[in-house]
Amino acid sequence: MKHICVIGSGYVGLVTGACLAELGNQVTCVDTDTEKIAVLCGGAIPFFEPGLEELVKRNSRTGRLHFSSNAAEALDGTEIIFIAVGTPMGDDGHADLQYVRAAALSIAKSLNSGSRKVIVNKSTVPVETGDLVASIIREHSPAAEGVSVVSNPEFLREGSAIFDFMQPDRIIIGVHDKASATVMRELYAPLYAPVIVTDVRTAEMIKYAANAFLATKISFINEIANICQEVGADVRDVVKGVGSDKRIGTAFMNPGLGFGGSCFPKDVTALSKFSEKVGVRPAILEAVLEVNRTQIERCVRRLEEQLGSLRNKRIAILGLSFKPNTDDVRESPAMYVTERLLERGATIAAHDPAALWAARGVLGERVTYCNDVYGALKEADAMFLATDWNEYKQLDLSAAAQIMRGRVIFDARNIYNPSDLVALGFSYIGIGRRAPLPVDRISVAK
């Protein structure tokens, strides 16, 4: 058992803290947001992540997991300190490290002479951030000689974060000394996962490179889908054929609206800016971002062409979160689509199983928010499937046809069978898929 403090009780910090407590450690999660701490002390969590609330409650009851807004008190007596604060994208595209700096300063002020501590950067940060944290501690603490700074990037997917923590593909540990590597190996030993130990800068680069590569796969398949659309090929069969090559695979090869969320957009942008800073032109990263930007506009334009005009058209948006099983609307392609439709004069009725409250905080009252999916579809001129929640895959399309005013479905996640929709009288729009002719236009050979 180790005594751990996690600075930052947002998505990464809370998942990390709860899971480390589940492994038998004594963990205190710290945050400057006193309202958030009050919510957590009450046994609830401030965002939606499957299974996390139960994990927090269980470990709070056992006394292994605590929450505090007093950093100095929480840091006292700890062996390992995780920095898991936000690193948002700054106005210039670079990662904003103000919260990392503040966390490092609070750690420096808490250090006592002779104390040995391992400080772990869990946040996604640019290369050389470990050096920055170490320099802040050396500058502001006379006890800095007992401190080691480690990079241990997270690889958590929203919607499956607990599984990803408990059953990781690998654990990356960037260290400057063997003692820190030993501490981190012991911490993660109960997971029986492959551990890759490297230097701090390499570990920082691994995280950025991983996210950039996954984003590249998404932009690549969207570009291929757009080509398929123009030549009458079906991108789903293309993905199946290409992905059967073991060197390629099908993961992250699902065409759609592009990537969003709190990680890929800012991390690819930050890596691109960092590359420029060190004198390397990031041509591929620039293309990845450009394809992602234009995908939204392309989809909105296709819907507009289908309807003739979007002005005064009622569009049902299904899904507002950037992916299913989360209420996160940050950089959500669905939200961008909604904004573009509103700009073109459309009326929006939106449904999402978890993200309505978060979306309202961004879109305000410009949108009608529906707790029932069929309420959103009622009298709609078109349905735009933006996020592939499971309940949309089970939608009663016959019932939808009865209550919708129009007969247009934009399946931006390719979850429906075009033939089924056409048989119900819908006009189908997908991403890189062949839409069959309506039944009354199919000529039968004699």
Of 291, 323, 296, nearest in space to 224 by CA:
291
Residues 6+ apart with CB under 8 A from 16: 6, 82, 84, 122, 154, 165
Q: State CA 240 to chain mean position distance.
A: 25
User: Each residue of 104-117: b (16+ CB within 10 Å) or e?
Assistant: bbbbbebbeeebeb
3: phi then psi, degrees, rounded to nearest 5: -95, 120
Between the CA of residue 401 and those of 341, 395, 411, what are the distances in Å? 22, 11, 15
Alpha helices (runs of H) in 28-97, residue ranges in sequence order: 34-41, 52-61, 71-75
Is 263 catalytic? The answer is yes
The two counts, helices (H) then strands (E), for the chain are 18, 14
Phi, psi of 272 (to 5 degrees): -65, -45
Six token digits for residue 352: 């999402």
Q: Which of 324, 317, 264 is nearest to 292 (CA)?
A: 264
Distance (Å, rounded) from C-alpha 148 to C-alpha 29?
Answer: 20
- Report the alpha-carbon distance of residue 417 to residue 404 in Å, rounded: 19
Residue type, 41: C
3 state SS for 188-229: HHHHCCCEEEECHHHHHHHHHHHHHHHHHHHHHHHHHHHHHH
Q: Tell me, what amino acid is at 178?
A: K
Per the CB < 8 A criterion, the answer to whether 431 and 255 are in contact is yes
**Using an 8 Å Cβ cutoff, are 344 and 300 in contact?**
yes
Are the beta carbons of 330 and 361 closer than 8 angstroms? Answer: no
Active-site pick, 5, 263, 299, 370: 263
Q: Are 303 and 410 in contact (CB under 8 A)?
A: yes
Q: Can you tell me the distance from the alpha carbon of 10 to that of 14, in angstroms, rounded to the nearest whole number?
A: 6
Helix H or strand E segment including 173: strand 171-174
Structure tokens that stand for 91 in this block: 């106005």
Element (H, E) at 284: helix 283-307
Catalytic residues: 263
